[in-house]
Amino acid sequence: MIWAKQNSKILIYQIILFGSLLLFLLKAIQYAFLGSYSTLLTSIIIIAIFYLIRKKKNRLNSSIKIWAILIIAWSLIRIFFGILIHFVEPLTENHLQENLGFLGMCISIFFLFGGFFLLNKKNRNNWLRQRV
Amino acid sequence: MKPIFVLLFTMIFFSCDYDMDENIIFKDLPPKTLDAQIEILSVLTGNQPMNADNIIRSRATIEERRITVNYLSQVLKQLNLEPIKHQYKEPNTNPLIDILIGPYKGTNLFTILPSTNNSNEYVVLGAHYDTARNCPGANDNASSLSVLYGVTKRLSNVDLRNKNILVVFFDQEEENLVGSKAFVKYLLKHKYQVHSVHTLDQIGWDKDGDRAIELELPTPELKKLYKNQGAKLNIPIHTTNVNSTDHHSFRQKGFTAVGITEEYVNGDTTPFKDSKDDTMDTIDFEYIDSTTNLIFEVINDIVKSNKHDLGQTK
């Protein structure tokens, strides 16, 4: 029972880690099709770093930690602006509202939890023990 | 691997865009052009229902803009013109913002009034249909949409047109002119030969009753055309250097373009821009009528002519 629970947590950890990287890559590809390549470049660099250090436990540990902090920062910035455009009149740009409205806020909160889940030392060590 | 495939499938599914036709209440527009213009402005500003379920109070959100596009499509169909949707996605102005939020998404709506002699040259007439949030946008910019309707209707009854007329309603002018910039890319990609571009913005306020308009950054040739027709119709024409609206997107890419507006620089302009008070009762319909006449005469002059000498032509 405990083994099954731990295994499912490892699976969730894997989904959140790979899912967040994959979503970032998809966003980057979308922007590349629109002629903006800097996001693609950033995502390739991040994925390359993960690939190159995939078998080095300590470095992988630090990289996941940094990635988790970046996800948390990303979510917090979105939540901050989402709240700001709700209350501050001059910042009511439609495009921001469309991205950071109810659905956008749900996505930000989901990623915030995901980031904290990745950052959790116990979860990270369990996954690393099984992975590397 | 299995969870990754499930995740990928879910993401692709939710990233699909759906384009459902709205249930538009559309009764025939009145036969008299000015009456039809008043009705269009009334619907666009929420005085009459546009959608079966709701009255649209502004044209700002994706949903409100989609309903507006469907309504404007019906307006074009009333003139026996085929509405064409140009859907686009554009990156944000700063790549750092790309990481934070999604791209701009919008729809320009256009139609082509063909020339009577198979010309491949186009005169572009445009106005944006979006508004700031919670703003009915009567002056900015339903006034221009109703002027465009009147001009298009009159031009469709002209016997001789030596050039095609492309009438376009831009999306997202209020957000860094994204819609018109995307439309410029569309014109360049499809290699349209554009004679000149005339964009309208805020054309419903005339407190001093002089019927004057301002031309924004016209070429000398366009200025002369407008001045000539203005003199015939007794309409004062002023010129300014304002470049903060859709004509700027075209000029940036080398098109011959001009903006047409009320006396924005001279100060005879709506004090209600981008506010909830930009309502239909602030619109001067005599001014709408006189500006419709002026623009019709200018464009008719251009399309009747066989000349192609308006400076730089794409």
pLDDT digits (tens, 9 = 90+) for B203-212: 999 999 999 9
pLDDT, position B15? 46
How is residue B125 written in tokens? 């007439």
pLDDT, position A114? 94
pLDDT, position A9? 82
The answer to whether residue B40 sits within a structural domain is yes
Highest average pLDDT, of A69-83, B47-61, B295-309, comes from A69-83
A102 at B interface, C-beta within 8 A = no
The answer to whether residue B23 sits within a structural domain is no
pLDDT, position B94? 85
Amino acid at B189: K
Q: Is B117's pLDDT higher than 80? A: yes
Give the count of domains, chain A: 1
pLDDT, position A85? 82
Terminal-to-terminal C-alpha distance of chain A: 24
Measure the CA–CA gap between B179 and B77, rounded to whole angstroms: 22
Mean pLDDT computed over every residue of chain A: 88
Q: How far is CA B271 from CA A14, A38, B52, B259, in A?
A: 57, 41, 32, 20
Q: Is B314's pLDDT higher than 60? A: no
| Choice between B199 and A93, residue whose per-residue pLDDT is larger | B199
Mean pLDDT computed over every residue of chain B: 90
| Choice between B284 and B56, residue whose per-residue pLDDT is larger | B284
Measure the CA–CA gap between A46 and A67, rounded to whole angstroms: 9
The answer to whether residue B245 sits within a structural domain is yes
User: Are A94 and B133 within 8 A, CB to CB?
Assistant: yes
Q: Is A88's pLDDT higher than 80? A: no
pLDDT, position B7? 52
User: What average pLDDT does the segment B152-160 reach?
Assistant: 94
The answer to whether residue B12 sits within a structural domain is no
pLDDT, position B312? 47
Least Cα separation, residue A38 to chain B (angstroms) = 6
Give the count of domains, chain B: 1
pLDDT, position B313? 43
The answer to whether residue B124 sits within a structural domain is yes
pLDDT, position B166? 98
User: What average pLDDT does the segment A112-126 reach?
Assistant: 91
Which pairs count as long-range contacts for B269-272, CB under 8 Å and 24+ apart, including other chains? B269/B202, B269/B205, B270/B139, B270/B140, B270/B202, B270/B204, B270/B205, B272/B139
pLDDT band at B28 (very low <50, low <70, confident <90, very high): confident
Q: Could you count the other beta carbons within 10 Å of the beta carbon of residue B33?
A: 18
Measure the CA–CA gap between B256 and B222, rounded to whole angstroms: 9
Q: Which of B185, B204, B157, B174 has its CA nearest to residue B252?
A: B185
A100 at B interface, C-beta within 8 A = yes
| Choice between B43 and A5, residue whose per-residue pLDDT is larger | B43
The answer to whether residue B4 sits within a structural domain is no
| Choice between B270 and A11, residue whose per-residue pLDDT is larger | B270
Using a 10 angstrom Cβ sphere, with 0-12 exposed, 13-18 middle and 19 or more buried, the burial of residue B96 is exposed
Amino acid at A80: F
Measure the CA–CA gap between A30 and A27, rounded to whole angstroms: 5
Least Cα separation, residue B102 to chain A (angstroms) = 7
Least Cα separation, residue B96 to chain A (angstroms) = 8
The answer to whether residue B43 sits within a structural domain is yes
pLDDT tens digits for range A6-50 = 678 888 998 999 999 999 999 999 999 999 998 999 999 999 999
pLDDT tens digits for range B213-222 = 999 999 999 9
Q: Is B3's pLDDT higher than 70? A: no
Identify whether the C-beta of residue B137 lies closer than 8 Å to the C-beta of residue B58.
Answer: yes
pLDDT, position B131? 95
Least Cα separation, residue A100 to chain B (angstroms) = 8
pLDDT band at B16 (very low <50, low <70, confident <90, very high): very low
Using a 10 angstrom Cβ sphere, with 0-12 exposed, 13-18 middle and 19 or more buried, the burial of residue A26 is middle
Angle at A29 between CA A26 and CA A34, to 5 degrees: 130
Compare CB distances from A97 to B98, B103, B133 and report the shortest one's residue: B133
Output b/e per residue, A52-77; b: 16+ Cβ within 10 A.
ebeeeeeebbebbeebbeebbebbee
User: What average pLDDT does the segment B18-35 reach?
Assistant: 75
User: What average pLDDT does the segment B11-37 reach?
Assistant: 69
pLDDT, position B59? 93
DSSP A42-97: HHHHHHHHHHHTTT-HHHHHHHHHHHHHHHHHHHHHHHHHHHHHHH-GGG--HHHH
Identify whether the C-beta of residue A111 lies closer than 8 Å to the C-beta of residue A75.
Answer: yes
**Which domain covers residue A40, as residue numbers?**
2-131
**Which domain covers residue B245, as residue numbers?**
29-304
User: Are B95 and A23 within 8 A, CB to CB?
Assistant: no
CA atoms within 13 A on the CB side of B304: 10
pLDDT, position A96? 87
A41 at B interface, C-beta within 8 A = no
Residue with tokens 């309504």: B71
The answer to whether residue B312 sits within a structural domain is no
How is residue B198 written in tokens? 């005339």
Paired sense of beta strands B257-261 and B237-240, if any: unpaired
pLDDT, position A87? 78
A35 chain-B contacts, CB cut-off 8 A: 91
B220 at A interface, C-beta within 8 A = no
Measure the CA–CA gap between B290 and B108, rounded to whole angstroms: 27
Q: Is A76's pLDDT higher than 60? A: yes
pLDDT, position B112? 97
The enclosing domain of B109 has a CATH number of 3.40.630.10
Measure the CA–CA gap between B17 and B21, rounded to whole angstroms: 13
A35 at B interface, C-beta within 8 A = yes
